[in-house]
């Protein structure tokens, strides 16, 4: 019988303490679709795993968990051995990531993606096929190689060792320089914080002193204002007392004088003369003056009309005289014109007579 179709585990019986069938979770529900023993969906591609395959899958899962735990522990140990982190940046600045490796890599926003695939065995319940070993053909040959012919340890390892030692020294020097730089940065940061704290304390002290001085100034100003108000009130009281004293000193005489001026104490004859006689006299005088003014107005009107008439007559006479003079002047001009025409005519006749005599 071929060993490829044999299983590695021996057959065993089912323990007797287990029941053959499971009791339903809900006895009242008799629907078969609630039974977990019923397979739902397509059953053609269903793969039934044997106990060996289940154990193998469990072992692989445990190995993966152990590998994951070892990787996490290794990362934790590596992180614990790393240099201390950079101190936080001061105000107004920020840290940026800088590549310090010998071989720079391109930084992109896109996360690198790699496609991986795996192929599972179609029949996990059967053991792996034996290794195929072809039959030997030909003749075996051998060659004698002496020690040192193919590999010289000292000559081959010396460059590698020099590179490793040099790289280790370079990394160590860089780590030492980084530690010194971090120590210097921390020292400068501490000095800066101390200086800033001292300056803040001084500023707070100055602010407190300024507030205290301002409060003292305000208090002194309030006291001065209150004192000035008290002095003004005292002066008003003294002035009122003096005025009241001077006013009450001659109050008796001033009251009688005021009453007499108001007319409470009067002479009947004087009052009758003042209230009856004097108004009648004033009315009579006003009427007489009104009549005089009216008569004067009428006389002025008559005189003005007479003067206007005289002026009009004089104006007419002047116009008549001017027209007469203008007429006489026109007559004289016409006579003078006729005389000149007559003289010209005579002169022309005389000239014509002289010409006839000459002929």
> Which of 27-36, 205-214, 262-271, 333-342: highest mean pLDDT?
205-214
> Which of 100-114, 151-165, 198-212, 258-272: highest mean pLDDT?
198-212
- In this prediction, residue 89 has a pLDDT band, given cuts at 50, 70 and 90, of confident
The structural domains of the chain, with segments of one domain joined by +, span 155-243
**How far is 187 from 164, CA to CA, in rounded Å?**
34
Name the residue with tokens 């860089």. 174
User: When comparing pLDDT for 337 and 352, which is higher?
Assistant: 337
DSSP assignment, residue 17? T
Arithmetic mean of pLDDT, 211-225? 92
Q: Is residue 38 within 8 Å of residue 32, measured between CB atoms? A: yes
Give the model confidence (pLDDT) of 304-317 as tens digits: 888 888 888 888 88
Instruction: Burial-class residue 280 by CB neighbours within 10 Å (0-12, 13-18, 19+).
Output: exposed
Q: Is residue 49 within 8 Å of residue 57, measured between CB atoms? A: yes
Given its phi and psi angles, is residue 92 left (phi above 0), alpha (psi -120 to 50 degrees) or beta? Answer: left
Q: Is residue 95 within 8 Å of residue 89, measured between CB atoms? A: yes
Assess whether pLDDT exceeds 50 at residue 11.
yes
Q: CA 136: distance to chain centroid?
A: 91
Cβ neighbours of residue 4 under 8 Å, at least 6 residues apart?
126, 127, 129, 130
- In this prediction, residue 223 has a pLDDT band, given cuts at 50, 70 and 90, of very high
**How far is 272 from 267, CA to CA, in rounded Å?**
9
| pLDDT for the residue numbered 10 | 61
Give the model confidence (pLDDT) of 134-184 as tens digits: 777 767 677 777 776 777 777 888 888 889 999 999 999 999 999 999 999
DSSP assignment, residue 27? T
Total count of residues recorded for the chain = 359
Assess whether pLDDT exceeds 50 at residue 1.
no
Give the model confidence (pLDDT) of 19-29 as tens digits: 555 555 555 55
Given its phi and psi angles, is residue 307 left (phi above 0), alpha (psi -120 to 50 degrees) or beta? Answer: alpha
- In this prediction, residue 211 has a pLDDT band, given cuts at 50, 70 and 90, of very high
**How far is 93 from 113, CA to CA, in rounded Å?**
34
Arithmetic mean of pLDDT, 81-110? 68
**How far is 324 from 314, CA to CA, in rounded Å?**
15
Query: Angle formed by the axes of helices 251-262 and 153-249, to 10°?
Result: 70
The per-residue pLDDT of the chain, averaged, comes to 78
Assess whether pLDDT exceeds 70 at residue 81.
no
Model-level pTM? 0.23
Q: What is the dihedral of CA 290, 294, 295, 301, to 10 degrees?
A: 160
Q: Is residue 8 within 8 Å of residue 51, measured between CB atoms? A: no
Nearest Cα neighbor of 126 from 47, 46, 181, 203 is 47
| pLDDT for the residue numbered 3 | 47
String of DSSP letters for 86-136: PPPP-TT--------SSS-----SSPP---------S-TTSPPPPPP-PPP
């Amino acid at each position: 019988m071929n060993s490829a179709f044999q299983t590695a585990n021996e057959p065993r019986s089912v323990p007797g303490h287990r029941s053959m069938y499971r009791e339903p979770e809900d006895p009242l529900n008799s629907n078969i679709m609630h039974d977990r023993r019923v397979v739902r969906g397509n059953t053609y591609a269903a793969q039934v795993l044997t106990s060996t395959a289940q154990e193998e899958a469990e072992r692989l899962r445990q190995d993966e968990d152990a590998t994951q735990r070892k990787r996490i522990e290794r990362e934790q140990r590596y992180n614990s051995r790393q240099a201390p982190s950079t101190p936080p940046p001061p105000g107004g600045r920020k840290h940026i990531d800088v590549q310090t490796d010998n071989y720079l890599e391109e930084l992109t926003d896109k996360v690198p993606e790699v496609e991986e695939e795996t192929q599972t065995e179609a029949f996990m319940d059967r053991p792996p096929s034996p290794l195929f070993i072809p039959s030997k053909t030909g003749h075996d040959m051998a060659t004698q190689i002496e020690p040192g012919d193919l590999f010289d340890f000292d000559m081959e390892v010396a460059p590698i060792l020099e590179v490793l030692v040099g790289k280790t020294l370079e990394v160590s020097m860089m780590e030492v320089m980084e530690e010194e730089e971090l120590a210097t940065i921390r020292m400068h940061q501490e000095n800066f914080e101390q200086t800033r704290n001292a300056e803040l304390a001084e500023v707070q002290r100055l602010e407190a002193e300024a507030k205290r001085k301002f409060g003292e100034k305000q208090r002194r100003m309030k006291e001065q204002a209150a004192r000035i108000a008290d002095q003004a009130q005292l002066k008003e009281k003294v002035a009122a007392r003096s005025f009241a004293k001077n006013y009450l000193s001659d109050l008796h005489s001033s009251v009688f004088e005021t009453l007499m001026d108001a007319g409470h104490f009067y002479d009947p004859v004087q009052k009758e003369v003042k209230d009856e006689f004097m108004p009648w006299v004033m009315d009579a005088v006003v009427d007489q003056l009104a009549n005089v003014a009216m008569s004067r107005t009428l006389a002025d009107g008559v005189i003005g009309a007479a003067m206007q008439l005289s002026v009009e007559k004089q104006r007419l006479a002047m116009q008549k005289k001017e027209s007469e003079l203008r007429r006489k002047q026109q007559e004289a001009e016409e006579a003078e014109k006729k005389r000149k025409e007559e003289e010209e005519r005579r002169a022309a006749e005389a000239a014509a007579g002289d010409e006839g005599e000459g002929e």
